[in-house]
Amino acid sequence: MYRTGMARRSILTVALVVALAIGIAMAIAAFRQGDTSAPVPPAVPAVAPETAAQRGVFAAEEPARLLAEGRWPGLPVRMPDKGRTAADLPDLVPPPQSFEQAPLRVMFRQYEELPEAQRALAARLVAQRLTECLVHKNIEEAQLQRHAEEAYLQWLEGRNSMTTLMQPTVALRAIDQAYSVDASQWMDDWIAKQRRMHRLCDGTATGSFDERWPELQRWRQRAAELGDLESKFERAWTLFLLDTNSGDATRLVELKHEALQLVDEMLEMRYAPVLLVLAGYADHGYFQLPDTDLHRAYLEAYARISANPSRSSWRWHSFPVAALDNWLVGFDRNREAYIRALSSQRLERIQRWADAIESWPDRQNR
């Protein structure tokens, strides 16, 4: 009995102590809970959070493996290697020198008479001429001087419009600098250029830029289809520059297919300028959400490759490397700034992808 009573007492005591402990613990917990649930204003992030796109393929740890699988960040489909080499490129023969110097009207006529092998490069030349003539206006000889004066004044106004944003003393210096240009020499140069363009652009469709643009794109497309890599690049780069109204959606669907086809063909040939196209697509977000870091990664890779073309498997084929240097002027200036602005994590990812793209192996080495 006694032992039973002792046992009961002990159990009761333990139970009460436990209950007390629980009560005190709950009181403390309530205190602490109240402490942590106090409203705290959200902190402004110093570095912007990652976008959904940055968490996609671009976020992956193994860029080299993904590239080997044909998974290029920013593109919606795989670009698997089909094993083609430069030997598979068609032999493109340049048209006669006279074709290049001829007025547009003559180029159109002569193109039809050229042998098949010369047509790809000839079509590219026509497209280049149409580009030069996009905004050219035919001005009668008697009106040239008057138009030159107007053009000079417009040029000065353009220079001066920037001065309103400058400090006053600096603005005065800038205006002085603008007016120190020899006006008559400027106008003579302008007139000479107009005369030259007048001859070369003879045959251009009359009308506005918007009306001339489709013709230019048709010639680019023709040259690209005939196998000219430079025209594939130009076409891929300019596909979405105009006509991106919401009403153009049906046609844009077709253009997207064409863009992916062109990119695939250029990647297959290890054609370095395709990296500039991919940089542009990433920046605008044509296929996935816009991603400025991915844009930087492609440009970074291209900048490195163009600085040391012989070190990588990327090629320019007939395209002169220097022709695209101006694409990097802004990037070189901005590179230093974005290195200062971005987090080390983001910089590391940019560098990692640039490394992988730069050292993307030739198919012989894989």
Q: Does residue 37 bind another protein (CB under 8 A)?
A: yes
Mark residues 238-277: x for contact with another protein by CB under 8 A, - for none: --x--xxxxxxxxxxx-xx---------------------
Q: Which stretch binds another protein (CB under 8 A): 13-21, 118-126, 306-314, 318-326?
A: 13-21
Q: Output the smallest distance, CB 227 to another protein, in A.
A: 26
86 binds another protein (CB under 8 A): no
State the nearest-atom distance from the C-beta of 221 to another protein, in Å.
18
For another protein, the closer CB: 141 or 248: 248
CB nearer another protein, residue 340 or residue 366: 340
d(CA 312, CA 355): 11
Burial zone of 44 (CB within 10 Å; 0-12 exposed, 13-18 middle, 19+ buried): exposed
**Which residues in 93-122 contact another protein (CB under 8 A)?**
none
Region from 47-55, 81-89, 111-119, 137-145 binding another protein, contact rule CB under 8 A: 47-55
> How far apart (Å, rounded) are the C-alpha atoms in residues 120 and 117?
7
Residue among 130, 112, 124 nearest 200 (CA): 130
Question: Hey, which residues between 167 and 226 contact another protein (CB under 8 A)?
Answer: 167, 169-171, 173-174, 177
- Under 8 Å between Cβ of 269 and 89: yes
Region near another protein per CB under 8 A, out of 2-10, 91-99, 111-119, 304-312: 2-10
Distance of CA 234 to the CA centre of its chain: 13
Closest to 259 (Cα-Cα) out of 299, 225, 232: 232
Q: How many CB atoms lie within 10 A of CB 236?
A: 27
The rounded distance, in Å, linking the Cα atoms of 9 and 258 is: 88
The one-letter amino acid code at 89 reads: L
Which helix (H) or strand (E) segment is 349 a member of?
A: helix 344-358
DSSP code per residue over 247-284: GGHHHHHHHHHHHHHHHHHHHHTTBTTHHHHHHHHHHH
Phi-psi region of 227 (alpha: psi -120 to 50; beta: other; left: phi over 0): left
Residue in 23, 90, 96, 361 binding another protein, rule: CB under 8 A: 23
Nearer to another protein, 287 or 327 (CB): 287
**Contact with another protein (CB under 8 A) among 77, 192, 289, 323:** 289
Q: Quote the CA–CA distance of 307 and 325 in Å, as a whole number.
A: 10
In angstroms, give the least distance from the CB of 121 to another protein: 30
Q: Does 344 bind another protein (CB under 8 A)?
A: no
Give the x-and-dash track for 125-144 against another protein (CB under 8 A).
Answer: --------------------
| ∠ Cα 135 277 90 (to 5°) | 90
Q: Which residues pair with 315 in a beta bridge?
A: 271
Question: Contact residues for another protein (CB under 8 A)?
Answer: 2, 5, 9, 12-13, 16-17, 19-20, 23-24, 26-27, 30-31, 33-34, 37-39, 44-45, 47-49, 51-52, 162-163, 165-167, 169-171, 173-174, 177, 240, 243-253, 255-256, 283-290, 292-293, 296, 333-334, 337-338, 340-342
